[in-house]
A and B are shown apart, each in its own frame.
Chain A
Amino acid sequence: MTKHILKMTVNGETHEVLAEPRELLVYVLREKMGMKGAHVGCDTSHCGACTVEIDGKSVKSCTMFAVQAQGANITTIEGLGSPDGLHVLQQSFKEHHGLQCGYCTPGMITRAHRLLQENPNPTEAEVRFGISGNICRCTGYQNIVKAILSAAAEINAAKEAAQ
């Protein structure tokens, strides 16, 4: 089958890879670009562990072929924060014990990041609905919800202070 040269921007850097059409985006990110934060949990687009952001959309990268992302602008968990400065959400997940085994965490945080872009001041119900495409087996979600609400408040407070 014809391989395609794929060019995409991932976390601000341009990547070029050669891939068969059937290669799923999650595997190309993980195995050809070395970004292993997105995980495969269910294979059928039900768990959200593979969530990344593509052109302003939260996408389950196990249910998208890498060729579909030709030319796309992608943000993965690796693009949020750094070891020297965690993203507010990352810090908040740690602060509120919003993770245990860590397997769902990159998808969860990436999804929460997008959610707060679209709804900077969500209610608890909106957070629960907004992350309902992400399964967590460990936390029971309560602390995840708390972490996202707290991050939202912190981001909003910082914005207000800046104005």
Chain B
Amino acid sequence: MNDLTPDREERVANLKGMGCSRKRVEDARFTQGKGNYIDDMSLPGMLTGDFVRSQYAHARIKSINTEAALALDGVIAVLTAKDLEPLSLHWMPTLAGDRQMVLADGKVLFQGQEIAFVVARDRYIASDAIELVEVEYEELPVIIDPLKSLQSDVVLREDLDPKAPGAHGPRKHHNHIFTWEVGDEAGTNAVIADADVVAEASMYYHRTHPCPLEPCGCVASMDKVNGKLTLWGTFQAPHVVRTVASLLSGIEEHNIRVISPDIGGGFGNKVGVYPGYVCSIVASIVTGVPVKWVEDRMDNLMTTAFARDYWMTGKISATKDGKITGLHCHVTADHGAFDACADPTRFPAGFMSICTGSYDIPIAYLGVDGVYTNKAPGGVSYRCSFRVTEAVYFIERMIEVLAIEMNMDPAELRRINFIKKEQFPYKSALGWEYDSGDYHTAWDKVLKAVDYEGLRHEQAERLEAFKRGETRNLMGIGLSFFTEIVGAGPVKNCDILGMGMFDSCEIRIHPTGSAIARLGTISQGQGHATTFAQILASEIGIPADSITIEEGDTDTAPYGLGTYGSRSTPVAGAATAMAGRKIRAKAQMIAAYLLEVHDDDVEFDVDRFVVKGAPERFKTMGEIAYAAYNQAIPGIEPGLEAVSYYDPPNMTYPFGAYVCVMDIDVDTGVTEIRRFYALDDCGTRINPMVIEGQIHGGLTEALAVAMGQEIAYDDLGNVKTGTLMDFFLPTAWEVPNYETDHTVTPSPHHPIGAKGVGESPHVGGVPCFSNAVQDAFRPFGNRHTNMPHDHWRIWQMANALGLHD
């Protein structure tokens, strides 16, 4: 019966389970414009809230005059810090153990900071009222550079005792937040000092922003009759928002319902808790009617969670044969005005310590210093697990710099340093246990697919032609090999605000054999309603089309930590499989009873239990579901439901190998991506179509970040890239077609072997694009040049190397 007989094949296909490119169930509503996003919400009597924001990056607030605004017809209230203070809500805790002003309390620390919250009858009146609020400022010196911040006498955070330790230990300076160290510094230094070869590099990974197409927003509705608060919003972690809202407001958690409706992309931007949420709640409590706040794009780029802003210096040592012996990394991390990074509590620099990458490096050290500046708070993981993009960029650049130092081919240098297949599970020098991998196979497959040797040959010919003056175009070959660390995470070391980072799934099988499953995660475009049903279909034998997946309503879904850091499949996906197995275990007992055999004498087969050795005797899952509710079975409770809270034993470690071929006009800085080949190994593949879509999207966000996207400030702290004119989001015209490929190395500890994929292409893509640019200039002496590689910076690179002389 284990043969894939035609009948069985048909039954498998009918399930639309794991491994098939099931079309998405979400698409019916999205393609018809019937999604339900936050700004689509409208409730009777609903008011609009909007912010008066700071023009300055650092200033004392001398006065706020709200009289004229309040006098405007249709303005209901104007909240300032003074109004929030009696409720102790003028400040709020951040996810990183710091605190953040909800509304400016005496001073402002970044441009765009929230000063007053206007509540009005509609958006038109609110925007008029904002103009009428008079704020008197006294400008203060502005600090944009974190390295200068640590030398400056200017105290940014006057609310903090400079002598007292912060959330992550002692502070060295009044603008210093924390020092975080991993690994053996003395040992690493000793190895580097004695090494045959040492390569060094300093790199700035510029500040950018996740910029989902839908900005952030919420609707708060306080039902004073029943004492219940409902909060709809763009939340990547609705359950965490509920707990935080309860802790902040004092409203008991059972009286708060948080709902994430459809979310128009998140990419990390919608993990944070923003002043808009707090002010909307307060305003609804004050007014007794629902209050909506939806930011505009400038608000979004200027004030909600940014990403990166890491100043990294590294040293890497190797033997004369190219075997890496040690790695030293130091980061000065610009966290902006408040430390509102979204990282697991014990990891103030996230999983930056994955910076040894895919290589077998015997000893390493990472030190990170967090610093305050006059920039917006944040530090979220933009389409990556916690700070993993920074880590992978760092090591993939260090490898290139080492290859230059050693005059070696960077592909070969990677190959001889990869962790070998037989070394897994592999304990890294900085403490991670990589679950599984087969890097050499992936690498060889990619290099062969692109004809790497042929490309290098072509590049050499181009270089000669360039030197002869026949072309002004250089060719760059970008390589990257990345190992992600996703699926945070084991409760023993991963928590956010003390909440363990498990996730959950609850399944109810209906009497007629269809089902609903609810999870603690929330899709922002990943297609959970499609793919989680596929996991379940394979586990419990009910067709995916007969399974509803529901997420995002804290009143109905089991508690979970939400969707970011590619954790949905590794954690909630595992919970789904485990809950499914509980269903299956009970179904087995029911089937055995119905078939009048012992439990052990039946076995699961696609969509049914069959009597071992007698395949004609079976009960389908539909029949079993019906019996579960409608037949008295001795010793078995009626019903067929299960819940699983999954605490992952380890992270998962997806990996991949990318190659980018780029043509670069050295005179104009214009680049053209001629080819991009991406091989991803995300373990067991649930839906190849969805995986491919995630890879296309992640690569495109990587292209944006590497080639031009940034949040830039001038010396006065003014944001220079606050609209989509200047904040680079590529269009279809700038984006190439990608070639995708895969290998499958299942995770040994995950119930279905899946590792997660949504963020891999971004993590691996950024260094690949950057390496392509830098590789083109390698023959002229380029070692490392910072991103973003927009036209003028590439031109500057060429200029500095004398290519315009």
Contacts of B26 in A (CB 8 A): 102
Say which one of B314-322, B447-455, B658-666, B728-736 lies at the interface with A.
B728-736
> Of all chain B residues, which has the CB nearest A148?
B732
Q: Is the CB of B265 within 8 A of A76?
A: no
Q: Is the CB of B690 within 8 A of A97?
A: yes
What bracket does the count of chain B residues touching chain A fall in? 35 or more
A120 and B727 alpha carbons, distance in the complex (Å)? 33
A47 and B296 alpha carbons, distance in the complex (Å)? 13
Interface class of chain B by DSSP? loop
What bracket does the count of chain A residues touching chain B fall in? 35 or more
> Of all chain B residues, which has the CB nearest A131?
B732
- Is residue A41 within 8 Å, beta carbon to beta carbon, of the partner chain? yes
Tell me, rounded to whole Å, the shortest Cβ–Cβ distance linking A67 to chain B. 14
List 7 interface pairs A-B (beta carbons < 8 Å), by A numbering. A22-B124, A43-B298, A46-B725, A83-B32, A90-B32, A103-B265, A141-B731
Q: Using known A-B contacts A43-B297, A101-B263, A139-B693, determine if residue A37 contacts B34 with beta carbons closer than 8 Å.
A: yes
CB-contacts of A122-145 with B (<8 A): 127-129, 131-145
A128 and B56 alpha carbons, distance in the complex (Å)? 40
Q: Is the CB of B213 within 8 A of A44?
A: no
Closest 3 A-B residue pairs measured CB to CB? Answer: A37-B33, A102-B30, A101-B525
Q: Is the CB of B525 within 8 A of A100?
A: yes
Contacts of A39 in B (CB 8 A): 37, 39, 213-214, 264
- Is residue B288 within 8 Å, beta carbon to beta carbon, of the partner chain? no
- Contacts beyond the supplied A135-B213, A140-B696: 5 A-B pairs with Cβ under 8 Å: A97-B690, A100-B526, A101-B212, A102-B525, A129-B732
Contacts of B37 in A (CB 8 A): 39, 103
Interface class of chain A by DSSP? loop
- Is residue A18 within 8 Å, beta carbon to beta carbon, of the partner chain? no
Contacts of A101 in B (CB 8 A): 30, 212-214, 262-265, 524-525
Q: Using known A-B contacts A77-B32, A90-B31, A104-B213, determine if residue A140 contacts B738 with beta carbons closer than 8 Å.
A: yes
Q: Is the CB of B213 within 8 A of A103?
A: yes
> Of all chain A residues, which has the CB nearest B39?
A40
- Is residue B184 within 8 Å, beta carbon to beta carbon, of the partner chain? no
Interface membership of chain B positions 97-135, coded 1 if the CB is closer than 8 angstroms to chain A and 0 otherwise:
000000000000000000000000001100000000000
- Is residue B228 within 8 Å, beta carbon to beta carbon, of the partner chain? no
Which B residues are within 8 Å of any A CB, using their own CB? 23-24, 26-35, 37, 39-40, 42, 123-124, 211-215, 262-265, 267, 296-298, 524-527, 689-690, 692-694, 696-701, 723-725, 729, 731-733, 735, 737-738
Tell me, rounded to whole Å, the shortest Cβ–Cβ distance linking B719 to chain A. 14
Interface membership of chain A positions 1-45, coded 1 if the CB is closer than 8 angstroms to chain B and 0 otherwise:
000000000000000000010110001001100011111111110
Q: Is the CB of B27 within 8 A of A49?
A: no
Contacts of B35 in A (CB 8 A): 102-103, 105
CB-contacts of A83-107 with B (<8 A): 83, 86, 90-91, 93-95, 97, 99-106
Q: Is the CB of A46 within 8 A of B724?
A: yes
Q: Is the CB of B40 within 8 A of A102?
A: no
Interface membership of chain A positions 52-85, coded 1 if the CB is closer than 8 angstroms to chain B and 0 otherwise:
0000000000000000000000001110111100
Q: Is the CB of B731 within 8 A of A134?
A: yes
A96 and B726 alpha carbons, distance in the complex (Å)? 31
Contacts of A152 in B (CB 8 A): none
Contacts of A141 in B (CB 8 A): 696, 700, 731-732, 735
Choose from A49, A81, A143 the contact partner of B213 (Cβ within 8 Å). A49
Q: Is the CB of A128 within 8 A of B732?
A: yes
Tell me, rounded to whole Å, the shortest Cβ–Cβ distance linking A43 to chain B. 5
Tell me, rounded to whole Å, the shortest Cβ–Cβ distance linking A160 to chain B. 25
Contacts of A31 in B (CB 8 A): 42
Contacts of B40 in A (CB 8 A): 30, 36
Contacts of A44 in B (CB 8 A): 297, 723-725
Contacts of A35 in B (CB 8 A): 33
Interface centre among B123, B525, B731, B733 (most CB of A within 10 A): B731
A121 and B262 alpha carbons, distance in the complex (Å)? 34
Q: Using known A-B contacts A23-B124, A94-B23, A94-B24, determine if residue A38 contacts B697 with beta carbons closer than 8 Å.
A: no
